[in-house]
Every structure is written in structure tokens, then in C-alpha cells.
Structure 1
Amino acid sequence: MEIQNDSSRRDANSESSPRLFSHGRDSFLTKDEERTIESWILNAPDPPPCFQDVKENFEDMFKSSHTNPDSAFVKIFVNFVLNVRLQNGPVDPGSPFNLPGHGLPLTRHTSVFGPHTPYLHGVYGGWNAPTLMNREVCMLKFVEDTTNESEWWLKVREPENVLQWKRQVLELPWAEYWPHADFTEAMADACLAELAKKANLFEETGMVPVMDYAAYVIKSDTLLTQTLKDELKVAVEPLESFQRSQKDWQPDTDGKVLNVVDPSLYPLLYGTSKILPDQHVPLDGCIDYCGMGEVIPQPPKPILDRHIVNHVRDKGFFKRDIQAPSPRNPRAMMAMEVSQIQVIVKMVNIHPTPEKPIYEGSPWQIEGQAIERICATALFYYDCDNIADTPISFRTQGDREDLAHKSHYIVGDWLSIEKVFAMKIRETRLQEIGSVLTREGRAIFYPNVYQNRLGPFELVDKTRPGHCKMLALFLVDPANPIISTANIPPQRQDWWSEKFEDLSLVRTLPPELWHQINENVDFPISKETAKKNRAEMTSERAIEPYFEVLDVVKSQEPVP
């Protein structure tokens, strides 16, 4: 939803304004100046430059610029890019297969502040959203609830129905939904006008954008046809039966969440996984490649973590003439071939039973790890039975520091800010946006700058079991492709064992000896080792402990 309040704050990240700073002309950097500095730092030869090198060459970079290199805001930007350069490290020129972790540094990205970095979360200098006002959160809630009604896109064109919606929304006890919240006639009129636009979009595409103010959540009840759902159920049944027999229940869910397809069970492990850099692993017959390839080495530590005793800087590079970069072609930046698309697949079933009728919900999570470069998620609820419609909640990182800098208030007067803005200033910079209802047949799409949490639900009829079956597709940033199963052979030890059991030499071995061989091989990966690795990965992905520590530290800092 396009929210117009506080337009100066909303324009902070727009194309027509400086992206980072809004102070005097000698303080901020334009987009072209940022790109020039970024290009200069990232392309400098090793050892990486320092801030003094940038400062010494500032005049050569911007001969006609009045920007002050000693400005605090310029220093923030320069130091951030320098930090990225230190983490990226050098490229391996001898590798014919250049992807992050093999030929390229693990932390390599195409751009620092370009359009392909928003999936980075919680990194200083990365993406954050303007802080919502309490009233804006309520407006998002009203739009979401209304678009869950049957034939809402038709009702929004009926004046009598629109008046009824308006009366109802003004009478709701909004302070019970959100602290200090209310709802005015002007807010209702703005929402109803927005709903009329969304109705046109829905009739054209079958999709509805919601939770839309800095990024979007999109929902659709038309993409999953009944035929497609039926075909998917039939195709998945063998997988479900196998996983039920294996009892691969997700840890800490009391036997309610079944992992049908789990990408974290046999993931890429540096120092363990094998790669075929010059060969494609086909889907048909992929087991024949099991155990083949070269081990992917552990990535070297970033230069930032190395102890550099002495070095001589390349003064020739730093004294060269600086060529300002040409403007980038937006169309070229967005163009991509279908073959570049990489998707990580996950399938999960939730099974409440009469003995365990309540699913407690998931913790707050963000999809994948940084090396997986996930930028967006698509969720498909293709089979639900005997459960109530369930909300999936979203929150994101807000610009609390920027808000505190721009707001004029008496130090310590937190209550006045919290009466207006939907954020606990003393607790966290994460702001909850709202929730979107999930139901059978619904598809939900959201960017990876939104953390998500599936809400609790229970059986409608407590006398019989129910289920909620989901297919999740995680889109890898097309501008930053990663190592995938296209070059990684299967890593499952049981598949490898079945393959070799048919060999005549193996058939001559005593069963006890063959079992002992299987027990002692380090690779391929055994099921027990895979589950241990998954538990460690899940622990690393935990959001709550990290942000609790972060928020405690932040709350100790005075806000000007």
C-alpha cells in the first residue's frame, strides 16, 4: 500500500534523492559519487586501500565536487565499502569455475548498494525500511482483512458495501490490535481508494499486493488450480510415505512437523562436499556420479581476519587518473536468462492429531544462510484439512537510528515517539508489519528482507487428525549465482551404498565386512551425520538469540 505520510522520510531511498545522506551538499554523496568510490575501492590491487588512500585521491576522483572527504557521512560510506572489500578478498585467477566458494571469495557480491543486495539482513549499511506509524500498521491490517473476503474485488465497486466497510472499520477497537492506534475517516478513504486499485490489478493478474510500504507481500488464490493441486498431491505421496517411514520429524516440534524435502539435510559442506567443476550432473542417472569429483576446500579466511605484518602499497595505482563509471543500464541490470534462475526447494507437512491437537507455530526466521543468497520466497499451501486458516506474520529491520536522528524530541521522551511510530524504541529496531492469512490453495510471495513466523493453529474437529502441507521455493539472487546440484553429485551414503552393492566385487564380500566399510567411510555422508549437520545449521540460523543480544546492546546506547 502506498503510504504518503511523512514523504520526506519515505523518499530517503528513492532514485531522485541521495541514497544515504540528506545533510549539507558538502556532506552527502550522490549516487554517481558512491559508484565511483565503490568501483575504485573494489578494483584496487592487493593489499586493499585504506581510508587515507581514498582521501588522498578524492580530488582526482571528483575534480569539480565540493564534497568534503572528512564529512562523517562520507567516512561512514567509505569505511563500509572498505570493509566489504576486505571481506571479499582476491579472485582465484586459475579457477575455471568461478562461483562464491570456488574460484570466487565466499562473500563476493556484484554490488555494495545496488538493487541486488536487499536480501542481506542485519548488516550495517544494508537495507532497512522506513519505520511505520501506528496508523499505517492499522491501514495495512484493514487492507489485508478486506482482501480475504469473498469477491472483495466486486464489492469494492458497490457504494453501499464500501460505506458499510467504512463504518465497520471506524468502529473497531484498534487500540486492542496495536498500542496507541486509532482509525480516522481519512485513513479509511485512503484504504478504500487503494482497494479499488488492487481490485483492477487482481482482475488482470490474479494477485494482490499486501503489507506493501517498503517491500511487498503478494498473495494469490488463483495460481494453484484444483488440477495442479491434485497432481501435486499424487506426485508427493511417495516422498511422504518414505519420510514417514524414516520418521524424519523436525526437531523441537513434538512429532508434528514432517520434513518431506529438506535442503538442509545434505547441504554443501566446504571441506567435505565434492564438485565436478567442468561437468554437469544430470538428473537422470545422477546416482552414478555419487562420490565423484574433487573436495571443495574450506574457503580461506577473509583478509580482514588475517594478521598482516607488513606490506608495500601500490602507489602507482592510487595515483592513476580516475575515470568516472558510465551510468548503468537499468534494463541490462534486470535482464536475465531463464537458465540463470536457481531455486531451493523445501516441502513440509504439519500433522496435528487428537492426541496433539495444537501446533504452537514457528519461531521468527529468515530463509537460508548468507552464502545461499536467497532473495525471495514463494509458499504454496496445496493441501490443508481440518485446520483453521492460519496467519503468517512478517517483520523487518526499521530505520530506528535514522528516525531518532531526524525526530526532534526531548531526550528520554520515549512514550511520545511510541505513540506515533510502530516500534519499541528502547527494545529493538525490528518492526512487526502484520500478518497474511494462509489457507488451502493460496500462494504467498515475499522478499527475504521480511522475517516470517507461521502462527499457531489447532484442529477444528478435535476427534480426527488434520494437516497443512506446504511447498516452499526459495529464489537465489540471479545476480549472484551459487554452487548447486548442477555440479555437486549426490552426497547420501545410503544411495552410494545401494549403487555399489550391485557390483560383482562387493557381492563377494561378507555382509559384515560391507557393513563395516559403510560405517567407517567419511564420505558420502551418513544419515546420522546429516542430521547432526542440520541441527548445527538450524542453530546458526536462529534469529532470537542474536537479536536479543543486539537489542540489549542497542538499548544501552543513548539516542540523540
Structure 2
Amino acid sequence: MLGSQNNDPITELASAISLKYRCHDRGGKGFSYPTAIDSKSHNTSEMLLVREVAMMIVMDRLTDKPDWHLKVYDDTITDKWIQEALALPVEQLYDDIVTDSPGSSNPKMLTSIFDRECLEYCIKELRAKAKFFEETGLVPTLDVDATAVKSDSLVDENLRRRLQAAFATLTQDQNDNPDWHPRTNDKVRNLVHPSLYPFVYGRSRLFLDEVVGVKDAVHRWSGKGEVIPKVSESSGIPAVSDTYQWLPANVKFQEDGSVKFTSYINGLHPNKYPEIYRTIETLVEKALPAWDFCLKQVPNYLHGGPSNEGDRAIVAGRKGSRFPRPRDPDDENEENWTPYFEVFKRAQHAKRGESDKDDSISNPASSDSEDYDEDEVDYEAQSEGGNYYSGTRGQVAWQMMREPVQPAAPEFKAVDYGVKPGDSLRERFKDIQIIVKMASIELTPDKPEFPAGSWHVEGQQNEHIIGTALYYLDSENVTPSHLQFRMSTISDDDYNVGQDSFNWMERVYGTVLRDAQAVQRYGSVETKQGRLLAFPNVFHHRVSPFELQDKTKPGHRRFIALWLVDPYRRVINTGNVPPQQQSWWMEQAFQGLTTQDAEKIPSAVANLLSQSAPGHSISALDAATRGGGSLPGELMNMVKEEAAKIEGPMSLEEAKEHRLKLMDERTQFQSQVESEWESETYNFCEH
């Protein structure tokens, strides 16, 4: 079992300021958690058939139905589900399946996706998942090489009400100075956000040891510690920031099965809100089984990992595609198409024979016209999808109208969805690190729409985020919204196809294989009220747009995000970094100051102190600013000069300036990541 290591402080500090890692390794014994940020990790997906992604989407929607886990055993109901799925418009499914590749046109749409056999496969899979759901409350969804997991029952109504009360308390306490997230047009209100008061290299104070706790964080440690100088050397890793890092809180597993924060949550006052801390601890407990299921650990052979062939990845549930790899996907394989060419020719002959017979009766001269020569060679044509066809006129006509034969659903094989003994986070580690965000999307009649988000992964590499858990506690007067998922794929995977002979593959996989982005869409999951949704950070994801249902009334969607740091790493955290909020320090420093004592403080000094924490009133200091004694001007100037030299905790104004710079840095990083994803393209034309 792994836990906090008592490494040499100098080694820890060197690791902490290293531009390559910004953390220290906790002895992962050769295992690692893959992420979409680290190009060297196991973070890619297979190319998936349009049919398989559509099957996942249908299964996800069916598991949104009330009592689905009971109804799935009723053949009458499941037959109705099958009929409904068969009737789904192809265009509707394609919206969630086909990758929007920049600069590329999509392949021609399949005329149909499902047959009864593949939907019967879905029912068998759902029955297996129903058993797992009854045991755990979890629903694996969109599962192939990675999986999301959802639950509408893990968080009970009591915990949901406690979270609602937490949001109400923080909202009320912050009403005088609400924190609207920059660049959201005052639609996203932050209650707790890691980008405000992040760790800032060259500014934030830090202890080498994790000495900062929860209850003692402010009164004992605020304003203390050493400043780590910023190292301005290139890391060669654009995903690593040399300036900022989100600060996780430390969470320790307790013997009774609960969890306990052992350091404060950045942005949540540890002494004012102990009940909110306990509520979030309970939510972390609920999220652990979801993370256990969806997070994959893989042998890290580059860093002393297992070397035996029997060494396994630690992963629950499905480990790959439901469909076997096609044996002969080449366009020249006539079995990949319907109808066969000879069947097409006979149909054309019969059709033309009937047409010629009618023409000769109505117009005897028509028999002298030029015959349609299906054997004419060197004929070329271009389809609507941009594909070029060549051969005889008859062959080209067949190529342009034929439909691909989609791989048949394989025999259903049961999947072990259980997490193996010894593989859970609680069993493998003594503690974990969690980053917390609490926010509310607020829409009004003047601002009735929330736009689609951009594709992104969470955090930067020095934060080592491996998983996300989102809980949607409250939605009112807003339309449904979904979280969409995709993964990078292996762009140079070797399929047995000839030069320019991959049109069948493009059709059944739903992607252009010539200079198109090597990305696989997985579908989407609804972010409904009461839902806990967890997924690994190998997924790129984005929020779909939503709007007010009744445009005359306000509405909102409130959620809490928990981001899990790689437990094999130990990043700089709130155990190292005392609270940076100047207002917290001021309140603690002057909370015992009586009005009588305050009057002894010169009013100019009291003003100076009050101005250092704008928006935060301390009654005794306020009294001193009005009635305190005076101070000679020369002496006051000396006080100001000395005060300017002291770099204490951050003011809110400074913290917001850092937040904007952090956001700019991450926008640039996400742009670089997106460019890298776009640069990874399929190039089957080189086969």
C-alpha cells in the first residue's frame, strides 16, 4: 500500500520546482495512469465502427429510462426498445458519431446503421450491466478502450440536500462580491474555483513538508513559508506550466471507510465552513467506486514496470471493441458490398431491357440510338462524398450506388465489470489528492443561452489530473445538456488495404482516412440533475449548448467538480502552501481587536490595512479608520515604504490578475493540444 513518502527535503524541493514534472514520484512500482496530455501514455482508442458507437449511444439512452435495470428483463419491453432504435433517424445518430474534422468532408452516410441482431446484442449487454448496477449503483457507459460511468442513485437525497445547502450558504455569503468567471458574460458564477489563488512560482509561499492542515491553516500558517523562485528555462513540454499550478487538497482514507481532508480546500475557508467540508468528504466517498471502475492503470515499462508477458493492466469492465478487426477490409473484396457486382449487372440488364422494349414500341427509331456501354473502359466519376471511381462504366455505376456490408454483431461474451480485490484506490493508497470546483451556470431572460464548450482535457501535465467526477445537484428551467466525449486514435494503425482502396472502411468507420484528424467520437452522456458522472482524463470532452426552457424566467445548472490527482505522484498541495487569501489573514489577525484597542491605531495605518483587503470589512479596523489617532506624514511615508516591501498574502485584485494570466496560458496550451490532435491524421493513401 502506498502513502506519503518522507523523502529528503532537498530532493523534494528539486522535484517540486522541476519543470519536467513539478511533483515527486511516490514509488508507482512501474504502473501509471494514462492521460490525454501525456503523449507517451496509453491514451489512444481503436477506430470504432459507426455501428458500435451507435450501439453505445442507444445503450446509454436506454439506461436513462426509469427502472431500466428491471425492464430490461421484460421481452415485450425490450422488443419495443429494439423497434424504437431501428426507427431512429441515421442523421440524428451521426451528429454524435462522426468527427468534425477541420478541412475534411465526411464520408457518405450509411443508409442504415442497426439490424435486429446488433440491438439484441445491446439487450444482452444491458442485462449484464443491470446486474452490476444492482450491486454497485454504477452504470458503465460509452465503454471500449476507456469508459465513463454514471449513477443517479449513489448520491442519495440527503446528500443532495446538504450540497444544495452548501451552495446556498456560499452564494449568500458571497452576494456582496460575487465571482463571475471571466469571459463568460456573467453566466458562470464561481463559489470555489482552483484558478483563483493558484500556486504561483516566484510568488506563493511554500513549506517542503506537508505541515498545513485544515483547522490550523489560517491562524497558524497563513503568510508563512518560503517563496520558490520561478525558473525560466524551457521544459520542452508545452503542457507543463512554469508559472501556475492548481492546488489540490489532501484526503486521507479512514479505517471506518470514510475519508477526511487533511489539508484545506483552496478557496473554501476551513474554519467558517466545517459542515461544507464534511459534505464534500461524503461526496468524495461516493465518487471513489466510480473512479475505481473507470480509471485504468497500465504497466510503465519505461520506468521499471513489469516485464513478464502475463503482466496485466489494472482495469475493470470492457477492455476493447465489441467487434473483431475486419479480416479483409479492402474495397476489392466484393463481400464488403451489397449488392454484388453481378447482381447489380443483372438488375441493370433487366431494367434496361424493359426500358428498351417500351422505347421500341413507342419510338421505333430509338433502337438506332447509341447503346449504353457498360463495358466501356477508362471511365471516371466523382461521388458526392468526394471519392473518385474508375473502371468500366458499369463498374463505376456500381461503385457509386453500392452500400457497405457492415460487420455483423459478434456473439455476446460476458464482461467482468467488477473491480478486482486489491485494485481499488482505497486498497492501493493511504491517501489521495483532490481539486475542488463549485459553480453555477446562471441564465436569465436577457442571457437565455449557454454556448457549446470547446474540446479540452483537464489541467496541465504538472497537475497530473487522471480523473474527473462531476455531480449535478440542481437544474431549474434549462433544457437538457450533454457532455460529449472523444479520444485520440492510432493514426498509423496497419490495416490490410491496397492503395486508395479504403472507401469501405471510411463508410463503416465514419471517418475520412486521407489526411483527416485521427480522433474517435464516443458519444455523449446527459448531465441531468442528481447524476454523478465520472471519467478518466484520456477523454477529450465538451459541454453541449443549452438554454432556458421558459425564456421569461431565470434558470440555472449547478454542479461540483472533483479532479483526482495521480496517486502515484505527489504534487504541490495545500498541505505545502498556506492559504493565500489576504482577507482570511486579515480577519484572523484582527478578529480579537476591540474597538477600544483599535482607537489606538492611527487612522492612516488602519486605512492602509483596510485598503489591502478591499471588499472585506473588519469592524474594529473600520472604527479605527474613523476615530483612530493621527501619525506624522514623514512617519506614515516610512510605514508605507516598509509595508510595500513586505510581500504578504495575495489581495483579491492580485489573485484575479493571476487568474486571467493562468486562463490565457491554458487557452494557449489547449490550442497547442488541439493543433497536435489535428496534426495526427490518417494517411491510408500511403499504404
Written as runs of structure 1 = structure 2, the 5 A alignment for 1:30-109 is 95=10, 97=12, 100-101=15-16, 106=22
Contact 1:100 1:483 in 2 (8 A): no
Written as runs of structure 1 = structure 2, the 5 A alignment for 1:101-180 is 101=16, 106=22, 115-121=31-37, 123-124=39-40, 126-178=42-94, 179-180=109-110
Deviates more, 1:251-260 or 1:533-542: 533-542
Change (3 A) 1:142 1:537: same
In structure 1, C-alpha distance between the alignment counterparts of 2:518 and 2:470, rounded to whole Å = 26
1:257 corresponding residue in structure 2: 188
Change (3 A) 1:400 1:556: closer
The structure 1 residue matched to 2:505, chosen from 391, 409, 417, is 417
In structure 1, C-alpha distance between the alignment counterparts of 2:428 and 2:26, rounded to whole Å = 17
The SS at the match of 2:516 is coil
Deviation at 1:200, TM superposition (A): 1.0
String of CA shifts for 1:130-189, please: whole Å, max 9, x gaps: 121111110111101111111111111011111111122122222442243611222112
The number of residue pairs the alignment matches comes to: 450
Letter in structure 2 aligned against 1:380: Y
String of CA shifts for 1:523-543, please: whole Å, max 9, x gaps: 422222222222232233336
TM-score for the superposition, normalised by structure 1: 0.72
Contact 1:210 1:219 in 2 (8 A): yes
1:363 corresponding residue in structure 2: 454
Contact 2:422 2:428 in 1 (8 A): no
- Look at both structures and tell me which one has the larger radius of gyration over its CA atoms: 2
Tell whether 2:228 aligns with 1:296.
Answer: yes
2:672 corresponding residue in structure 1: 546
Deviation at 1:355, TM superposition (A): 1.6
Tell whether 2:569 aligns with 1:480.
Answer: yes
Deviation at 1:466, TM superposition (A): 1.1
Q: Which structure ranks higher in relative contact order (CA pairs < 8 Å, sequence separation ≥ 6)?
A: 2
Deviation at 1:303, TM superposition (A): 8.2
2:155 corresponding residue in structure 1: 224
String of CA shifts for 1:50-76, please: whole Å, max 9, x gaps: xxxxxxxxxxxxxxxxxxxxxxxxxxx
Deviation at 1:263, TM superposition (A): 0.8
The structure 2 residue matched to 1:382, chosen from 464, 473, 484, is 473
Deviation at 1:93, TM superposition (A): 5.8
Deviation at 1:486, TM superposition (A): 1.3
Change (3 A) 1:388 1:125: closer
Deviation at 1:480, TM superposition (A): 1.1
Contact 1:258 1:348 in 2 (8 A): yes
Letter in structure 2 aligned against 1:429: A
String of CA shifts for 1:445-502, please: whole Å, max 9, x gaps: 1011112212111112222111111011111111112121112101112223334446
The SS at the match of 1:101 is helix
Contact 1:224 1:382 in 2 (8 A): no
String of CA shifts for 1:326-364, please: whole Å, max 9, x gaps: 868988886756642111111110111122111113222
The SS at the match of 1:379 is strand
Ranges in structure 2 where 5+ consecutive residues have no aligned partner: 1-6, 95-108, 238-303, 315-420, 613-639
The SS at the match of 2:577 is coil
In structure 2, C-alpha distance between the alignment counterparts of 1:113 and 1:427, rounded to whole Å = 38
In structure 2, C-alpha distance between the alignment counterparts of 1:324 and 1:256, rounded to whole Å = 47
Contact 1:131 1:422 in 2 (8 A): no
Letter in structure 2 aligned against 1:253: T
The SS at the match of 2:564 is strand
Contact 2:438 2:560 in 1 (8 A): yes
In structure 1, C-alpha distance between the alignment counterparts of 2:423 and 2:568, rounded to whole Å = 9
Change (3 A) 1:165 1:278: closer
In structure 1, C-alpha distance between the alignment counterparts of 2:34 and 2:163, rounded to whole Å = 32
Change (3 A) 1:334 1:559: farther
Contact 1:396 1:433 in 2 (8 A): yes
Deviates more, 1:291-300 or 1:94-103: 94-103
Deviation at 1:270, TM superposition (A): 1.9
In structure 2, C-alpha distance between the alignment counterparts of 1:124 and 1:529, rounded to whole Å = 37
In structure 2, C-alpha distance between the alignment counterparts of 1:345 and 1:266, rounded to whole Å = 13
Instruction: Choose between structure 1 and 2: higher strand proportion.
Output: 2
The structure 1 residue matched to 2:216, chosen from 279, 285, 304, is 285
Letter in structure 1 aligned against 2:225: G
1:73 corresponding residue in structure 2: none
Contact 2:467 2:564 in 1 (8 A): yes
Across the aligned residues of Structure 1 and Structure 2, the Cα RMSD in angstroms comes to: 3.4
Deviates more, 1:205-214 or 1:452-461: 452-461
Change (3 A) 1:325 1:235: closer
Contact 2:211 2:575 in 1 (8 A): yes
Ranges in structure 1 where 5+ consecutive residues have no aligned partner: 1-91, 306-322
In structure 1, C-alpha distance between the alignment counterparts of 2:491 and 2:158, rounded to whole Å = 47
Letter in structure 1 aligned against 2:124: A
2:654 corresponding residue in structure 1: 529
